[in-house]
Amino acid sequence: MDNQPVILEKQFNVSPANLWRALTDKHEMKSWYFDLAEFKAEIGFKFRFNGGPSPDGQFVHLCEVTEVIPEKKLTYTWRYEGYPGNSYVTFELFEQGKLTVLRLAHAGLDTFPAIKDFARTSFEEGWNYIINTSLKNYLELNRLT
């Protein structure tokens, strides 16, 4: 299995502070990401959520924040209840003039079982939609990008 991380980069016409808020405020996150009961950008904070490719294909995601550099970097573990494997999701923000570049990396996908829902292509499709469609649309509607 391919052990390279899934990496996406996208420029947004928002400040790092506004993008950071979208990435870390649970009220904002539910509008573009997942509806989390709780979330704190604090090392050691554990959170969980349900998600999957279809209403019948939902998985319990178990996550723990492992790195926080406000307005610059957020990393958390990502694993599935009842399945082996552990991965890491990292959001990095880079200010470029009036734009902020978001770099998402999801590493460790090769540690998951070889099933369709955990295939690299599933993660690529999911993250592509989340970052390039859902987050983009949310920021444009709420930040006037």
CATH number of 6-143: 3.30.530.20
First to last CA, the chain: 39
Residues in CB range of 133: below 8 A, 6 or more apart:
none
Percentage of the chain modeled with pLDDT above 70: 97
Q: What pLDDT was estimated at residue 143?
A: 64
pLDDT tens figures, 56-111: 889 999 999 999 999 999 999 999 999 999 999 999 999 999 999 999 999 999 99
What's the pTM value of the predicted model, to 2 decimals? 0.94
Work out the pLDDT band at 52, boundaries 50, 70, 90. Answer: confident
CA 113 to chain centroid, in Å, comes to: 20
Residue 54 has pLDDT above 90, yes or no: no
Q: What are the structural domain ranges in the chain?
A: 6-143
Determine the Cα–Cα distance for residues 95 and 82; give it in Å rounded to an integer: 39
Report whether pLDDT(126) > 50.
Answer: yes
Distance CA 102, CA 22 (A): 12
